[in-house]
Chain A
């Protein structure tokens, strides 16, 4: 082995050490939260960084009940599912039409680009007034409609890129069999677009599940409040119950982290692919 190889080996060891160190630092707040969720307030105040004296898993159940987290989870799940379904079912055919040369494609793409870069905050006031006129405030619809609309640009671009790169052969064959454009899309093109659908589903679901501003402004009662709002309300109502708040935060992030372990490849590559 020559000197250069030896040096690069030492360099790789140092690099690995740095990566492990930074990973540990990045994971530390999450580990601290999980441990804190099993400790009493007195323990946390006495020694902020320490193992639990007794592992109080019952705090998780207490946080779930106290915070009405079941109700908020249901709202979040329902609103996310409807938003994802709406985004795919509207976005995919729209992108297909644009990719296959419906009139005015470049202008429509430019129109969708606006929604990709414009700050949603700026639209908050008129959207609020529109929802008030439609008598939708404080319902699931108050969130689903704007969420779908704001998710469409990314979905259209992801599907558009996919359909542009697809061969038209299967579609031509189906057309010769007398298939109309609509049926052609739903029976032939859409099923073939599963990889693009996967990216759109994961990214839309994540953005919707975590959305905060519109939820804060458009819904107020338990019937429509989503988890981020529920958690915020919980933490201000229990501002001194640290252990309990940690338990609520853990309850809401652990399932996501576990689910993430299964889709991380799609998600990490999808994030880069959709925007890179």
Chain B
């Protein structure tokens, strides 16, 4: 026969202060872990949203990101014309050369930061028609000294508002529009490729993006291998990626956009994942100790009651379950409190440096239901681990001694 659950729930109320302190302690631990998970989630969403399978990213062979990739304008053009897998629309191949550069700008909060600046060709907007939207003002006119800014920069970086002027090297550019994009572009500044190349004294684009014909298989290397393998991995033999890597006229490294973005985020995702794991483990250990203390003390104070339970015929195993349940309740309530503490972070804007291109990345905390679920599971594990040993001790008490009040 099981011990009635109400016995444990009422006991928690009797020892209000100890229960409350333990719940809050677990809550603080859970809040921190879910905060970091929310940061990781926000970061992952920012980078992978808009990462498409049907868009190819061409880099120079050996390049690790668009920051250190470089093509001459002629070669870029040749690549767009000659790669047969690139899809063609009404106005020719759906492909664009892109220049990418970090520029030093001032955040509103002060200091300086590197903001990604991207020079694009008109075909880009055909390529991105379903994901990128101008939400304010208008698009820049091709060939003009005009810029559009990602919505996530507005209010965070100085001069990122319609009508303002951003001076790039010595050329003033006018901000004429604000655009929204769920992925990384939403934190960038865009302008005309050739105007930006001229203003920045650059001779060519950094990468080429293109829409692929349906059913094209790229066969590029797994981005994770690039960071974990000892030697650079090779693309699958016979694939499009392998052919282009050794192309005699324009050699290029090709990824799908999704894979390219994954290759850029492997490191920070790993760091955030590792951080939440290590902090969760270390702080979780401390929280388990606290829960154990609370439960041991609860059991010590109730030795007499346990004696009565045993004397009235309850078996040790139901008593074990009963105290484990009590500890799980503490863990669960702590988890819910922790989630409540973490919720206000949802949507909070964060900015940090992309270690691969040294540019500012703007993203937001995202407290998703997955984050909350992991937090609650984490708190239940804490309760379980904290309660196991005390509950076992309670179950092992001898009825006569327990009735006499000796633990």
> Does B bind A?
no
**Partner-A contacts on B (CB < 8 A):** none
**Partner-B contacts on A (CB < 8 A):** none
